[in-house]
Amino acid sequence: KMEYLELCSKKFADIEIQRYCYKELAKLYENKFMFTEALKYIAKLKCLCIMQRERVDCIFKEIELLIKSGFYEKADLSFREAIKELNENDRFELKKRITDAYNEEIKKLEKSSKYSGMIKVYESLIHYVVDNERTQIKRKMMEIDKKLGRVREYMLLEKELEGHPVKSVSVI
């Protein structure tokens, strides 16, 4: 099916056919956990979008796929670019979908006990939540730092949660 859709997207110049092929290819690759390939077709689809709502949906899907594939920095950059194009309601919805995607990623990593990966996800997630949730995340990060034996990071978070201003420590 993937091969057929790829051939159709190359063979036919009609924009509607290409949009359909790219959308279906992105879904198929996502279902096969081939997120980088799915991202490639979402990017092609985004270029062909005519209506603003379709473009917004492509942006949402792109960021979701970036998170699933572990490209958290790229997801943050895409979010910053998307903010410029979106209205207030779409910004709120995008933030909610990003936090949901990060939370799904955390659950998946938690099941497989991949604590170092969880720290990376929490570090990215912390920028999208409000103060109350931020302190909960920092507490979870402290627990993980303790499990991983990251004493310095644990102590920095502990001081930050106690209300002491934390100075960044450089390691030489």
Tokens of 38: 């799915």
Average pLDDT over residues 8-28: 92
Q: What is the pTM of this model?
A: 0.81
Please report the DSSP string for 30-81 in residue order: HHTT-HHHHHHHHHHHHHH--SHHHHHHHHHHHHHHHHHTT-HHHHHHHHHH
The conformation of residue 163, written as its DSSP 8-state character, comes to T
| Residues 106-135 pLDDT 10s | 999 999 988 889 999 999 999 898 888 998
Q: Work out the pLDDT band at 164, boundaries 50, 70, 90.
A: low
pLDDT of residue 170: 41
Q: What average pLDDT does the chain have?
A: 88
pLDDT of residue 172: 40
